[in-house]
Structure formats: structure tokens, C-alpha cells
């Protein structure tokens, strides 16, 4: 038979939620950082997306890393 223990259900859900936060938060921070300029990130780290998303992604995909000399598509 299945036992119903409310405290065990709560503990299970709390553990799953903490695991989700641990996995999702770094991805969210990376996305938010990619929407800001380097100066904005260096002065204070924002928690909301910025207005430079399209500009930064165009630079990253078309220019690529300047040291290596290849775009993302060539990697």
C-alpha cells in the first residue's frame, strides 16, 4: 500500500525545487549577462535582462573570438 506522509511529500518537493534552482540559476545568469554590455556587468551585476541582446548575439555569432579568428559556425 502507498503511505501518505505529508512531511515526506514536502521534503521531496523542497529537494526537487532546490535541485531545479541549482541547475537553472547559472543558465539564467549567463543569459542575463549576455544581454548587457561589459561595463554594466563590471559595475554591478544585473538580475534582469538588458537591451543589448540582439547586438551582443550578432557580434558573437558573426565576429567570433578575435584571438582565434574563427566564428561560432567554424568551431
- Nearest residue to 28 (alpha-carbon basis) of 49, 53, 56: 49
pLDDT greater than 70 at residue 36: yes
Quote the pLDDT of residue 60: 81
Quote the pLDDT of residue 25: 95
- Nearest residue to 64 (alpha-carbon basis) of 52, 51, 75: 75
pLDDT greater than 70 at residue 5: yes
Under the banding of pLDDT at 50, 70 and 90, the label for residue 18 is very high
How far is CA 74 from its chain centroid? 24
Distances (CA, A) of 37 to 44, 65, 66: 11, 16, 17
pTM above 0.75, yes or no: no
- CB neighbours of 25 closer than 8 A, spacing ≥ 6? none
pLDDT greater than 90 at residue 10: yes
Mean pLDDT, range 56-60, rounded to an integer: 85
Amino acid at each position: 500500500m502507498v503511505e501518505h506522509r505529508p512531511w515526506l511529500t514536502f521534503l521531496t518537493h523542497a529537494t526537487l525545487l532546490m535541485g531545479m534552482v541549482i541547475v537553472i540559476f547559472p543558465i539564467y545568469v549567463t543569459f542575463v549577462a549576455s544581454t548587457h554590455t561589459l561595463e554594466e556587468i563590471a559595475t554591478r551585476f544585473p538580475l534582469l535582462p538588458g537591451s543589448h541582446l540582439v547586438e551582443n548575439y550578432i557580434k558573437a555569432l558573426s565576429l567570433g573570438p578575435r584571438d582565434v579568428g574563427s566564428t561560432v559556425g567554424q568551431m
